[in-house]
Structure 1
Amino acid sequence: MQFRLEHQDPGSKARSGTIQTAHGEIQTPIFMPVGTVASVKAVHQRELAEDIKAQIILGNTYHLYLRPGTDILNRAGGLHQFMNWQKPILTDSGGYQVYSLANNRKITEEGVAFKSHIDGSKHFFSPEKSMEIQRHIGADIIMAFDECPPYPSTYQYARESMDMTHRWLQRCGEWLKENDPLYGFGQSLFPIVQGSTYKDFRVKSAETIAEFGADGNAIGGLSVGEPAEEMYAMSEIVCDVLPHDKPRYLMGVGTPANILENIALGVDMFDCVMPTRNGRNGMIFTSEGIINIKNKKWEDDFGPLDPNGPTFVDSQYSKAYLRHLFAANEYLGRQIASVHNLGFYLWLTGEARKQIEAGTFASWKNIMVEKLQRRL
């Protein structure tokens, strides 16, 4: 993997660049749709590529390990072939899912024992096991195995968790050195900065991750319940330490406003289930604000879903029709909302890139953040 930094916004720390992978280019800043189980929920791969214009998607190690399993993925030739997606893929390490299974897991230095959310069966993830699974999945970018501490965490817990994450990173690197890729192309490991909301730990973790010398770096442990101001403060601290010439990935963030604010701090890559999850519940993100399509006010609005929207659903369907689909509990409504929201998120990061290239990002961002948070 190679990263080429291309533009720096004069009024902020926002920047644009290009990541080159075996499966194509990624222009940053970029949003990655979440394809948890080899599928971005309710969206065809053709829609992702042609209408939404996704450049990279995310797969989930924990879920893909449980089903279809690494044997099926290996026999298919990896996740790209299995789901017929020939653009880049990033996989997480399973660490966040382990965090979310707090009542069904036990963490030790060796790794994490947990019970499947599907059938209660017992499993064990170590750094080595996470790397092995991600080898079989075959993503272009893979994540180091980490522990995501809860918010709030005590100072002692955050320190012990961060130190263990750093030790696990070394084990991930050693395993990868000893085991070749499976499908004829290289995989880039991204370490993950942890440290909860403690400034000294975030600095220490970012310095440790920077010294590892990976192709890119991730920021984890945010968007787990802390106030937005804490998120921004930690992102800024970390971005000021991480290498300038490597992509920075903020995991699991967030709202459109969150994304723009973090781009302004120097973040390049994002993922979040919000556009599809909220879309399935009737929340429509637009450049003018947020629409709750279930509200009665849209019942006889026969205008286009979003006259400024970039996807085919924005002009082909009206607000009234989409509201009707939700009222009738028709799954097509959830599909339309998901396609729209993902298209909007990709438009937003693409427009941010244009503004960075023009040197106008900072002023544009301030206007957009205010508009994005309005309820229409």
Structure 2
Amino acid sequence: MSTASFSLTATDGAARTGVISTPRGEIRTPAFMPVGTAATVKAMLPENVRATGADILLGNTYHLMLRPTAERIARLGGLHRFMNWERPILTDSGGFQVMSLAGLRKLTEEGVSFKSHIDGSKHMLSPERSMEIQRLLGSDIVMAFDECPALPADRKRIEESMRLSMRWAQRSRDAFGDRPGHMLFGIMQGGLERDMREESAKALTAIGFDGYAVGGLAVGEGQEAMFSCLDYAPGFLPQDKPRYLMGVGKPDDIVGAVKRGIDMMDCVLPTRSGRTGQVFTRHGVVNIKNARHADDPRPLDENCSCPACTSYSRAYLHHVFRAQEMISGMLLSWHNLQYFQDIMAGMREAIAGGRFAEWEADFHAGRAEGDIPPL
């Protein structure tokens, strides 16, 4: 019997709030998972990621299997100890990265053979190997191995891909075995085709998973198409299990997804944007490299509790970004992660209080105001 569980505490429309309980700690939902691709959330110390309010991180199977290798991480005590994060970790299956990053690759019923984007070495990833790697890493939430076609794709391609993913889902379930305290999530596919999403959800539910992801979105289809899929897709999945939208997204994508019944999300956006000088605030996006900030003694966001906002001016943040100082990426990544976690906390509170629609209206109104006027 798994010692990991999910309980819903409140709903407001389709929006839900609850708790995923694991032996390594509780994950409050809706949850945003910062991405720790290579066993690090870029430019952040683990304790600082935790300070923003993150309950769980995401690690990348594909990157870690290539470097430093899952076997080495296992010898060194597992991913949690290796990266100094003792709370829950979710690992993806590697399928998406193989499709998007790997060199020459060949897809068969067995799995995907590919060349490493690092050194050209040859590897094979199958449902069984993905489960083995994630077991070696020791992650708390394991993702089934799937195939994700880039959209737009024709219906026949989406159908073949989805059915292959469902066969792989069964193999992932079989290979995962019985691991008390660890959860295995299945991944719904089917592109933007409603009937295929439903078929995929039925196949996954029949196999039986601890949670379910909506995969194959945020791959270039646009927000409107994504939202229209999310208007029905989460409803095909069991009510009593967590639902995870993979690779999303911008703040308004996240809010729109939660409104439609999603419990978990992840994205590289807060840290990647932080390193390139793009800052998310309650009043929209700020580009710190713009000259208007050069003499501005005010904080980025006076309502934010992160160090970038409480201890530094826009002028300083502009200066260190322009000078390519390392602290720039550190402070702006921290701020962005804090903002994303503040959004999640705000939504959890609003859903629990039955005020989600009101909260959402305030969120959009604040962002529509735009940045404070220049001095």
| TM-score over 0.5 for the pair | yes
Residues 187 and 213, structure 2, Cα contact 8 Å, conserved in 1 = yes
AA at the equivalent of 2:345? G
SS at match of 2:213: strand
Residues 288 and 372, structure 1, Cα contact 8 Å, conserved in 2 = yes
For residue 339 of structure 2, the aligned residue among 332, 335, 344 is 344
Look up the match of 2:304.
309
Q: How does 1:128-147 map to 2 (within 5 A)?
A: 128-147=128-147
For residue 330 of structure 1, the aligned residue among 325, 334, 352 is 325
> C-alpha separation between the residues in 2 aligned to 1:102 and 1:23?
33
Residues 256 and 372, structure 1, Cα contact 8 Å, conserved in 2 = no
Note the C-alpha offset of 1:306: 1.6
AA at the equivalent of 1:6? T
> C-alpha separation between the residues in 2 aligned to 1:301 and 1:211?
58
Note the C-alpha offset of 1:313: 2.5
> C-alpha separation between the residues in 2 aligned to 1:202 and 1:120?
35
> C-alpha separation between the residues in 1 aligned to 2:40 and 2:108?
32
CA deviation string 1:233-264 (max 9, x = no partner): 11221111111111100000000000000100
Look up the match of 1:73.
73
Query: What's the RMSD between the two structures over aligned residues?
Result: 1.3
Q: Does 1:236 align with 2:237?
A: no
Residues 103 and 115, structure 2, Cα contact 8 Å, conserved in 1 = no
Residues 252 and 272, structure 1, Cα contact 8 Å, conserved in 2 = yes
Residues 290 and 374, structure 1, Cα contact 8 Å, conserved in 2 = no
CA deviation string 1:68-115 (max 9, x = no partner): 112211111210111111100000000110120375211111000111
SS at match of 1:350: helix
Aligned length: 368
Look up the match of 2:124.
124
Q: Does 1:6 align with 2:32?
A: no
AA at the equivalent of 1:371? G
Look up the match of 1:286.
281
Note the C-alpha offset of 1:171: 0.6
* Structure 1 residues 224 and 348: alpha-carbon distance in aligned structure 2, compared to 1, 3 A threshold: same
> C-alpha separation between the residues in 1 aligned to 2:348 and 2:132?
35
Look up the match of 1:174.
174
* Structure 1 residues 369 and 156: alpha-carbon distance in aligned structure 2, compared to 1, 3 A threshold: same
Q: Does 1:104 align with 2:99?
A: no
> C-alpha separation between the residues in 2 aligned to 1:141 and 1:369?
32
CA deviation string 1:35-91 (max 9, x = no partner): 0010000100111122x1210000000001011112211111210111111100000
Identity percentage of aligned residues? 49
The TM-score with structure 1 as length reference comes to: 0.95
CA deviation string 1:146-166 (max 9, x = no partner): 001111011000000000000
SS at match of 1:191: strand
Residues 20 and 27, structure 2, Cα contact 8 Å, conserved in 1 = yes
Q: Does 1:225 align with 2:224?
A: no
Look up the match of 1:26.
27
Look up the match of 1:38.
39
Residues 101 and 114, structure 1, Cα contact 8 Å, conserved in 2 = no
> C-alpha separation between the residues in 2 aligned to 1:373 and 1:139?
39
Look up the match of 1:270.
265
Residues 3 and 245, structure 1, Cα contact 8 Å, conserved in 2 = yes
- Stretches of structure 2 lacking an aligned partner (at least 5 in a row): none
AA at the equivalent of 1:47? N
Answer with 54-63 or 212-221: which moved more: 212-221
Look up the match of 2:159.
159
* Structure 1 residues 218 and 367: alpha-carbon distance in aligned structure 2, compared to 1, 3 A threshold: same
SS at match of 1:346: helix
> C-alpha separation between the residues in 1 aligned to 2:370 and 2:65?
40
> C-alpha separation between the residues in 2 aligned to 1:90 and 1:327?
35
Look up the match of 1:57.
57
Note the C-alpha offset of 1:24: 0.2
Residues 144 and 185, structure 2, Cα contact 8 Å, conserved in 1 = yes
